[in-house]
């Protein structure tokens, strides 16, 4: 009986904690979804006017997608220097402050998260580019812009609930890349995309 009441109390505490978290981060999540949708819509409408080269082979399309990787890599540089700057600041000004350790750990977790997000996004983006049609290449600049904006926003609000705005932008870019990749993969038949010839 005591075990049941303890479990119920834990569930109620978890529900209250989740509700509180949702109240704090919900507006930022909605804002992230709105901004990412707007960028994708505007990009889809305006980017075809740009001079995107004709790329007939998968290797050329992947190479084109890799051009944006350098820009997206700025998020890694920012995260690395954030860790360095935080360590240097607190080692000089507040070397014995326990809170300083919390800030350092937060920036280290941010760097780890940035590396993980970067690798996952690059895999999805390059996979999408490898099987995309020429018209789909206009999506790549939008994906890059949304992802990079998300990381910048996340870095800027690292210890505040508003970091969910940046996190939502990152997830929007990530799921869009993988979602469209899977759509292209299955819509044309897996064998026609993964093999150099069709089995039909």
Residue 1: the pLDDT is 52
| DSSP annotation of 160 | S
163-187 and 2-46 are packed helices; what angle lies between their axes, rounded to 10 degrees? 70
- On the question of pLDDT at 63 being above 80, the answer is yes
Q: Which of the two residues, 94 and 25, has the higher pLDDT score?
A: 25
pTM: 0.77
- What percent of the chain lies above the pLDDT cut of 90? 19
Cα→Cα distances 124→29, 76, 101, Å? 22, 18, 35
- On the question of pLDDT at 116 being above 60, the answer is yes
- The domain made up of 56-190 is a member of CATH 1.20.120.550: yes
Average pLDDT over residues 46-62: 70
Contact call for residues 166 and 153 (beta carbons, < 8 A): yes
| DSSP annotation of 200 | -
H-assigned helices in 53-93: 58-72, 74-93
Q: Identify the band that residue 100 occupies on the pLDDT scale cut at 50, 70 and 90.
A: low
d(CA 29, CA 50): 31
């Amino acid at each position: 009986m005591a075990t049941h009441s303890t479990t119920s109390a834990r569930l109620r505490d978890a529900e209250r904690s989740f509700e509180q978290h949702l109240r704090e981060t919900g507006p930022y999540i909605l804002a992230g979804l709105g901004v990412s949708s707007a960028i994708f819509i505007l990009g889809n409408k305006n980017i075809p006017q740009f001079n995107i080269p004709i790329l007939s082979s998968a290797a050329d399309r992947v190479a084109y997608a890799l051009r944006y990787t350098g820009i997206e890599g700025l998020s890694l540089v920012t995260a690395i220097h954030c860790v360095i700057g935080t360590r240097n600041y607190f080692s000089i000004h507040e070397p014995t402050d326990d809170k300083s350790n919390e800030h350092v750990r937060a920036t280290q977790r941010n760097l780890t998260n940035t590396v993980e997000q970067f690798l996952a996004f690059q895999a999805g983006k390059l996979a999408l580019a490898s099987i995309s049609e020429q018209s789909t290449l206009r999506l790549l600049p939008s994906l890059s812009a949304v992802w990079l904006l998300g990381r910048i926003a996340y870095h800027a609000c690292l210890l505040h609930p508003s970091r969910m705005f940046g996190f939502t932008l990152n997830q929007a870019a990530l799921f869009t890349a993988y979602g469209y990749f899977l759509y292209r993969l299955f819509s044309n038949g897996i064998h026609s995309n993964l093999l150099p010839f069709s089995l039909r």
